[in-house]
Chain A
Amino acid sequence: MFYIHCPYCGEYRGEEEFSPKGEAHITRPADPDGCSDEEWGSYLFFRQNPRGVHHELWVHTLGCRKFFNITRHTVSYEIFETYRMGEQPKVTEQSLAEALNKTRKEESV
């Protein structure tokens, strides 16, 4: 079982208390009427399916019932961080790559 840190309850809880809700940070177009069909279609239906770091929306269904975000690795299932709604992720594909490069450089020196 995974233990997931709920940023609102402030502690780790069992996986069975949570539900995944798909990709995070999807912004509804400010002017839906002004959208092209392609823009509106990609907002509604098209999602990234990355191999690697993914930012996801989850909800603490059986606990505080609040939505929050998880940065997760889709291959290793490692959870890098959880953060509240409205916040931006600290861990991204780019930040992980930079950290990896840094440690490689240090090792080579």
Chain B
Amino acid sequence: MSDTSCASVATFDTCPDVSIPMESPLSVAVNQVSMSTPAPAVSQESQVQFEEKPFLGHLILRGSAMVLGEAVSEVLGVSLPSQPLGLVFDASGQRSVQWLSPDEWLVIVPSGEEFELENRLREVLGAAHFAIVNVSGGQTLIELSGDKARELLMKSVTYDVHPSNFPVGKAVSVAFAKASAILRRPSETRYELVLRRSFADYCYRWLVDAGEDYGLGVTR
């Protein structure tokens, strides 16, 4: 492919050595049991479960749907969601592509795959007009599950999360507890939140507080 355009972009692996310890945005809040307010444990009464999925690979793709669509389906095997607010997963359910705006998509892949994916996309896209940014360090994914997960969200977002308005395969960026977050519905029983690093601790504390009524438990 066009080596000139690839060569002009400096890419680097943000985490080349797995032996270097990493800290997720929520590692302190969730894991330090010695804190004054330790994370509530999952129990029989827990109607909502909270789990962080740290260190996933997050990539932001910018460009036109026509340019990116072909490359994404070739490299990832997933078609780019062209409809607004779309969210698609690959067959394994491990990799997702989400519509963020008419020319912006969020790709989330398992930890460690993002650098190779970025390079392969750059190779396939060649000299086309596009941008790929690795934002893995800037945000984290959390998962809410359980019978009362929807009710917990109803306390936190102004967006209508009723299944008639928010079906499986929809993802929206919304005002979450006076911060901003991306809210995703990957399956009937689960909700995902993509939180910005600097907001993660605040949103976590908000959820723990709001989830007290439902016996929210944090999976470590």
| Chain A contact residues, CB within 8 Å of chain B | 1, 8-11, 13-14, 16-17, 62-66
Contacts and interface: CB of A to CB of B under 8 A. Distances in A.
A64 B180 CA distance: 12
Contact of A9 (B84, B104, B158, B175): B84
Given A1-B158, A14-B159, A16-B158, A62 B175 contact: yes
A62 B178 CA distance: 10
B84 to A, nearest CB: 5
A82 B173 CA distance: 20
Contacts of B175: 14, 16-17, 62
B102 interface: yes
Contacts of B180: 62
Nearest to A84: B102
A86 to B, nearest CB: 13
B173 to A, nearest CB: 5
A11 B174 CA distance: 13
Contacts of B121: none
23 contacts: A1-B158, A8-B101, A9-B85, A9-B172, A10-B84, A10-B85, A11-B84, A11-B85, A13-B159, A14-B158, A14-B175, A16-B175, A17-B174, A17-B175, A62-B173, A62-B175, A62-B180, A63-B173, A64-B101, A64-B104, A64-B173, A65-B101, A66-B102
A69 to B, nearest CB: 15
Interface string B74-93: 00000000001100000000
Nearest to B158: A14
